[in-house]
Chain A
C-alpha cells in the first residue's frame, strides 16, 4: 500500500494558462475525491467518483474545471484559463465503500497562478 499520490506537488502557472493535475488512489479504493484548500481554511469538496462515474460536483466547480477518472483508477483535474483566485492546494483522497468510508488523503498539489 503506497498511499494516495499526486503529481505534480507544485505548479506555478501564468493567468490564462491551462493546468492538469493527476491523482493515483490507493489501489483497492473505488471512490476518489477532489478538494480545494485555500490558506487558513479547511478543505472544500469539489467532486467525487465511484469507479469511473462522477457522482457529485460542487457548485464551486465552475465550467473551467473538469475532472475525469476514465478507467476507474487514476483521476485528472484540469483547470482551463486559470485565474489568480484558483491559487490553492488541491487535495485528492480515496476510500472504499463500506462501513467506515475513511478517506485517505494525498500530499496535495499546490497551484500558484501569477
Chain B
C-alpha cells in the first residue's frame, strides 16, 4: 500500500523567504509523485510532477521539487515566497498513473 506523510500541517514564512514543504512517501513500486495547490473553496491545481527521468522537476509559479529515492522524499521548494503563495499544498503518490494517495496537506502562510 502507498502512503504519504507531510511534515508540518502549518508552515509560516516571511515574504521573500525560502519556502520548504516536506513530503515523504511509501511505495512498493516506482512511484509517480505530484504536488497540488488548493485555494479556499476551490479544486486542486497541479504544481509539478515526477514520473521518470530527471529527479529535479520544475513546476509553475517558481516551485520545484527533488525526488530522492534513498530518502523516499519529494520536498517542495521555492526560493522566494510571495503573498499569493498562501494556500494549502498537497503531496500525492500513485503507481502506474492510477489513483492518487494524498498526504494530509500543509497550509502555507506568508507574512508581510
Residues of chain A at interface, number, CB under 8 A? 27
Q: A100-B49, A101-B97 are in contact. Are A91 and B43 (CB under 8 A)?
A: yes
Task: Give the interface of A toward B (CB within 8 A).
Answer: 4, 33, 35, 40-45, 48, 56, 91, 93, 95, 97-108, 110
Let me know if B44 and A56 touch, CB within 8 A: no
Q: How large is the interface on B (under 10, 10 to 19, 20 to 34, 35 or more residues)?
A: 20 to 34
17 A-B pairs besides A42-B105, A101-B96 with CB distance below 8 A are A4-B43, A41-B104, A41-B105, A42-B102, A42-B103, A45-B101, A56-B98, A95-B97, A100-B51, A101-B32, A101-B97, A101-B98, A102-B46, A103-B100, A105-B44, A107-B42, A108-B43
Task: Classify the interface of chain A: helix, strand, loop or mixed.
Answer: loop
Let me know if B43 and A107 touch, CB within 8 A: yes
Let me know if A48 and B99 touch, CB within 8 A: yes
